[in-house]
Chains A and B, each alone.
Chain A
């Protein structure tokens, strides 16, 4: 298989032009915005960080995931776009960059009103910390969320931890935040494998530092 890379330099670990890809996800430029774009290696709210169906008692409805992108059963997309906390995470870094104090960000206000959202469940089984691992901007909210009680060892339906997600997208700042609060560098993947596959050099450097540090304490 030829090697393909995203615009941010991360290696695409699937073949976007494999047989059946066009039939399943659409031709380049014609993919579902809420689904998987194999050519850009990006996903929409239907697959990750989106709103989920809930039963009358508030529990998450588990079933077939959007587009069957992940064949495992998982939270069912409700069609509402990204969850409110996913949206707030995406605003966090732009807001703080423009001078807004962390306590006054959309994310802080949302968590103040609904503190349980810190470990909310979104499509793909993503927690807010997983969502931090989905873009270079989002990763800046990781430390804030951990301070608010986010679970550093949560698993999404791909069996990825937030650390694995940071590794898959080469997000070193988010990875450092997780490791600083005790995330396991070898948990599920391990992240090192994920980072190697994606040629995520920044995260590889972070993991090497921490793994060596942990080994030196044993």
Chain B
């Protein structure tokens, strides 16, 4: 195996010479530039309530558990969802097939949250807004424990 190499600075001029040739490739490849997360599977032995398969939902649909928490706290459901739901591809979030657990990206704290069927957070972790993180080390348990989930992220 090879070692991690150091990072550095790229001379801007080095890229210009190949522009014409690469443009031809670019035009050929643009037509197939389609990808998205189609399914997420959460593996969480310590929190089986959130283990399972999650499928993408549009930003226009609000998770039931999220609604419950808003109502309990006297918050406007739609306004709070619009304010907080900041991620996924096109604002997508992910609902568990078998119950109301869900995964969404919180725009305020920049974290992905895995919320249980009661709408309350179980795990969270900072990551890119277009897809949640797969490795367990990217997540923290909300209960303060050291247990963390692993996610498999399927793309088309």
Contact = CB atoms under 8 A, between A and B. Distances in A.
* A and B held together in a complex: yes
B154 A193 contact: no
Contact of A150 (B41, B45, B134, B138): B134
A153 to B, nearest CB: 5
A49 B1 contact: yes
A147 B38 CA distance: 11
Nearest to A44: B1
Contact of B147 (A47, A57, A180, A182): A57
B153 A151 contact: yes
Given A127-B135, A210-B29, A212-B23, A48 B150 contact: no
Interface in A65-124: 70, 75, 115-116, 118-121, 124
Nearest to B141: A59
Nearest to A149: B152
B121 to A, nearest CB: 18
Interface string A148-186: 111111111010100001001100000000001110100
Given A205-B18, A210-B29, A216-B30, A197 B1 contact: no
A57 B151 contact: no
Nearest to A179: B29
Contacts, number: 172
What bracket does the count of chain A residues touching chain B fall in? 35 or more
B47 to A, nearest CB: 11
A182 B128 contact: no
Contacts of B150: 116, 119-120
Given A193-B10, A212-B26, A59 B147 contact: yes
Interface in B108-151: 127-128, 130-131, 133-138, 145-148, 150-151
Given A43-B1, A153-B128, A182-B35, 5 more contacts: A42-B1, A42-B3, A59-B147, A121-B137, A213-B26
Interface of A: 6, 8, 10, 12-14, 36-37, 41-44, 47-49, 55, 57-60, 62, 70, 75, 115-116, 118-121, 124-125, 127, 131, 134-135, 138, 146-156, 158, 160, 165, 168-169, 180-182, 184, 187, 189, 192-194, 196-198, 205, 208-210, 212-214, 216-217
Interface of B: 1-11, 14-15, 18-19, 22-23, 25-27, 29-30, 33, 35-36, 41, 43, 45-46, 127-128, 130-131, 133-138, 145-148, 150-155
